[in-house]
Chains A and B, each alone.
Chain A
């Protein structure tokens, strides 16, 4: 589903990418921006959290003439003697900006990185109204926006999800934060849970493991949580963490190859190597039993019959 949304095979006018403290949605946002530019769209880029040149640099474009930049990062509220584009009556009004900048054509796309500052400055309901109008603007084929769920209350996320056609939620494969002092992470995976509402009203849910490649393209494959790791809270019992990081320890816990070979040759004390110490018990074919006794060194073996002096 993710790849279909990226390629445009599935139509979605309003795409919401949700991330949290442990996942970074801006890389997926860049993937959408790159894909929209490749499809020949005029891209309106609204940057709030990073400088527009930084965003465009990561798109690796040969020609950025299709990108119209709206810089809300450098001076959003006029502290640096700027025009304070986010303040007062000059609120986040994308529709009028798009209608002003383009005389004709219906091949416009909008990318917003991200919604947090706008949601701080304006009421979430008015932001949702603006975005809803934008999604119904005939000139705009798709709007993609990034939302940090951990910065806002759940109600805001629900409102934004309600007006969006597609909601992409990024999660780590483990619900636990990655706290380890080894260099390699125990779990290397991010999943994208996509809820997509088609025009006919059908809703599709998909969970895919996602990887962003260095050229901002996306690789996604269906993901199913391992039942065992679900029970153990995402911790795989088969993998052992690499706790012997040499940078932190002052002693060596590892075995060399020679030491491993010598260990395999070691005989356990409970295994008796000598057959001379075995006691054998055999049964005779005549029906009577015979006992074969080998006395130890300390045994005082007397051939005399101890009952010889008895008279029966």
Chain B
């Protein structure tokens, strides 16, 4: 295997390990960590670990075409099942970014987002410290 391919492969595995350990550190206490652990477990079972990461990366690179509507209007629209005209808002995008977000009520989504973001920040700090430890 070329050295560059090896580095790329290791990078993917390090990234997987980072998200996996972040979710496991929180355990069952949060909806997002439960959803993330399940997602990682399923993608591991299918032996397509990298497909999950690639799919997430593709989602991130998609341009946000929808505008931001009113958050309260979205809350009301979601309660109307089968409503043909959903108001577009940042809430939809947030649901896609937070693991398990699609199934959450709005209030739960906002709380889970706060915790998820704090954990991501900690993750970044931990990885920076590890990188600085190398001579």
Say whether A and B bind each other. no
Interface residues of A (CB under 8 A from B): none
* B residues in contact (CB < 8 Å) with A: none
